[in-house]
Amino acid sequence: MRFENVGLRYGNGPEVLQDVTFALGPGSFHFLTGASGTGKTSLLSLLYLARRPSRGLIGIFGRDITAMKRDDLPPIRRRLGVVFQDFRLLDHLSALDNVALPLRVAGVSESDIQKHVPELLTWVGLADHINAKPPTLSGGQKQRVAIARAVINRPDVLVADEPTGNVDDRIAFRLLHLFAELNRLGTTVVIATHNETLVRRFRFPRLNLAGGGRLEVLPPLADVEEGAAEGGSPAAPGAMAGVGPVPPASLAARSDG
Ligand SMILES: Nc1ncnc2c1ncn2[C@@H]1O[C@H](COP(=O)(O)OP(=O)(O)OP(=O)(O)O)[C@@H](O)[C@H]1O
């Protein structure tokens, strides 16, 4: 995935993104950081192809999407998993059926769905809410359903907008662990977050919106205190202590869904 001199403006307003240039290698993991209003959601909406840039080039899976016709985008979109800031769950479907959607689109068998979806929902702490509909769930519970839906099909790229904004730190670490596991299995991951504790703990590089619509690519934010306590040796990217167990094997099994 690459951006070259991308600019985005809404209507006749000023550019909210200016000359944004970066490349994400396959299987990379980046946090997207920046103060509120600097353009994180706008940048993500370009990444998941909900908008086209006002100028510049966006390439994904080796294709220039700025030159593509609208009708050619859906097959590319199906390779992307998205966690929206406002979840976008279907209220009339149960948690299970919301998460099952991408699997049903991909033609996964109903017996596999009935096995793997409850397993993943249980792993994210929703064992008691598998058949609940979104209007009866809390914000943090809806957020976890949305995350399960985005990751269940092992997308080539996962884009998540504040995916831990509604949960406590213990669940946030667990969800980041899930994203890191997905990434280990090959998914390219971009996570927008305000949570500096997560950024320090997980030590992935950062795309940082510095204001004025400018983006800088920064190395992982070192957890100085933790590093000092450990004698200063840096941990591997994605490393963190005290979280387990690993996500269900169902995620690993779904290689070509
Ligand atoms: N649909 C829109 N129409 C006009 N302006 C918009 C629209 N969406 C966002 N903006 C403006 O673009 C700028 C960036 O907004 P964006 O939501 O991308 O920031 P953000 O970094 O994701 O903020 P937050 O961290 O608060 O979610 C803001 O000035 C916002 O007012």
- Distance from Cα 145 to the centre of ligand 1, integer Å: 25
- Distance from Cα 102 to the centre of ligand 1, integer Å: 28
Cα distances (angstroms) measured from residue 182 to each of 102, 128, 156, 185, 250: 16, 24, 10, 5, 11
Q: Spelled out in words, what is the top-level CATH class assigned to the domain 2-221?
A: alpha beta
Nearest protein CA to atom 3 of ligand 1, as residue: 10
The DSSP secondary-structure symbol of 206 reads: E
- Distance from Cα 16 to the centre of ligand 1, integer Å: 8
- Distance from Cα 203 to the centre of ligand 1, integer Å: 26
Pocket test for ligand 1, best of 15, 33, 42, 47 (most atoms within 8 A of CB): 42
Sign of the CA dihedral with 155 first, then 186, 158, and 21 last: negative
Tell how far CA 47 is from the center of its chain: 11
Tell me the per-residue pLDDT of 15-49, one tens digit each, with 9 for 90 and over. 999 999 999 999 999 999 999 999 999 999 999 99
Cα distances (angstroms) measured from residue 248 to each of 96, 176, 200: 16, 14, 25
φ and ψ at 67, to 5 degrees? Answer: -100, 0
pLDDT surpassing 70 at residue 155: yes
For the ranges 14-18, 139-143, 245-249, the lowest mean pLDDT is seen at 245-249
Question: Which SS3 state, helix, strand or coil, does residue 100 take?
Answer: helix
Radius of gyration, CA atoms only, the chain: 18
> Any residues with Cβ below 6 Å from ligand 1, and which?
10, 16, 34, 36-42
Question: Which SS3 state, helix, strand or coil, does residue 101 take?
Answer: helix
Its ipTM equals 0.98
- pLDDT value at residue 211: 83
Ligand 1 nearest atom to the CA of residue 209, by list position = 21
- Distance from Cα 40 to the centre of ligand 1, integer Å: 8
pLDDT surpassing 80 at residue 226: no
How far is Cα 184 from Cα 120, in angstroms, rounded to an integer? Answer: 17
Query: Which residue, chain included where needed, has tokens 């800088």?
Result: 216
